Amino acid sequence: MKLSDSHEDALIQRVTQHLHQRDDVLVGPGDDCAVITQADGSLLLLKTDCVVESVHFLPEADAERVGWKALARVVSDIAAMGGTPTACVITLILRPDTSVEWLDALYSGIQRCATDFELSIVGGETSSAPPLAPNIISVAGTGSLPPQHLVKRSTSQPGDAIFVTGSLGGSIHGKHLDFTPRLEPAQWLVKHHKPSAMMDLSDGLAKDLPRLAQLSQTHYQLDLNSLPLTPSCTTQQALADGEDYELLFTLPPSLASDLQNSWPSHFPPLTQIGHMTTADSPSTPLNGGWEHFSS
């Protein structure tokens, strides 16, 4: 059987189900980041993510923006756990015919993101790729987190209100290279209105919300008319385009209006899009979202 005959989530579950883990692992595979308990009781976040030419960026894309995207994706994941990014290492797998100017621009974008979000670039690796291979940038990042700020995907409850930040859909027209990781809103949330569950939207709401629901053993009802659409996008695009890099989170319904009233005006818009339900109320049918390895 080939990977193209399998679903990505099923593949990940297949390879991660019997993994060796020490007692200090608080959150393993399946959430936005892994979480490891440190000797002093603080939490270490660890995340890896990659961008592949012709999959996550086009060959003609501006290398500076590709560099930004490569690191910003990891910042987004660390934010979605409630954490603060601290350091990252960069792996570059590049064709020998890649220009040094392209590499300079790429690092300029990585550097801009590191400066904006105050994390250190502490190392990396370069490897050559064969002539016809895509250029690849893989980023591994660490974050820190006081234990009381940790928010997982798996702890949503039936009845919780579902929120998203910003607008959804149409990322391919530019946002996927220029998005702002929602670090500040996420840190504000965990301090003031701690979500019951949270994740970042990378593969599209239609793909990511079911993941959160499944891990929480809940279902969901979406009000599809309430989705915050990017201008000129349809509801289906908002559900399925992917690469929104917005926060998706849930909150007990009794706390929802207080959150909405206190949401800072300089943050991206906040929208309630539905609520979590029990198995008695089947989930809103959703289609689409990004699938790796699909034939």
Nearest to 208 by CA among 291, 104, 102: 291
Instruction: Single out the residue of 7, 13, 128, 178 in contact with a copy of itself (rule: CB under 8 A).
Output: 128
User: Binding of a copy of itself at residue 61 (CB under 8 A)?
Assistant: no
Indicate the Cα dihedral angle 13, 87, 69, 290, nearest 10°. 10
Contact 104, 66 (CB under 8 A): no
Element (H, E) at 274: strand 270-277
Residue 96 or 231 having the CB closest to a copy of itself: 96
Residue 257 or 294 having the CB closest to a copy of itself: 294
* Spatial separation of the C-alpha atoms in residues 196 and 162, rounded to whole Å: 10
User: Binding of a copy of itself at residue 7 (CB under 8 A)?
Assistant: no
User: Binding of a copy of itself at residue 268 (CB under 8 A)?
Assistant: no
CA angle 291, 293, 295 (to 5 degrees): 95
Instruction: Single out the residue of 7, 58, 76, 97 in contact with a copy of itself (rule: CB under 8 A).
Output: 97
Bridge-based pairing of strands 247-251 and 84-94 is unpaired
What six digits make up the tokens of 188?
Answer: 């504000």
User: CB of 94: closest distance to a copy of itself in angstroms?
Assistant: 6
Instruction: Single out the residue of 7, 13, 123, 223 in contact with a copy of itself (rule: CB under 8 A).
Output: 123
User: Binding of a copy of itself at residue 86 (CB under 8 A)?
Assistant: yes
User: CB of 90: closest distance to a copy of itself in angstroms?
Assistant: 7
Q: Which stretch binds a copy of itself (CB under 8 A): 35-43, 215-223, 249-257, 263-271?
A: 35-43
Contact 228, 164 (CB under 8 A): yes
User: Binding of a copy of itself at residue 54 (CB under 8 A)?
Assistant: yes
First to last CA, the chain: 13
Residue 55 or 279 having the CB closest to a copy of itself: 55
Nearest to 43 by CA among 31, 55, 51: 31
Binding-site positions read: 32, 48-49, 56, 77, 107, 153, 200, 202-203, 243, 290
Binding-site positions for Mg(2+) read: 32, 48-49, 77, 200, 203
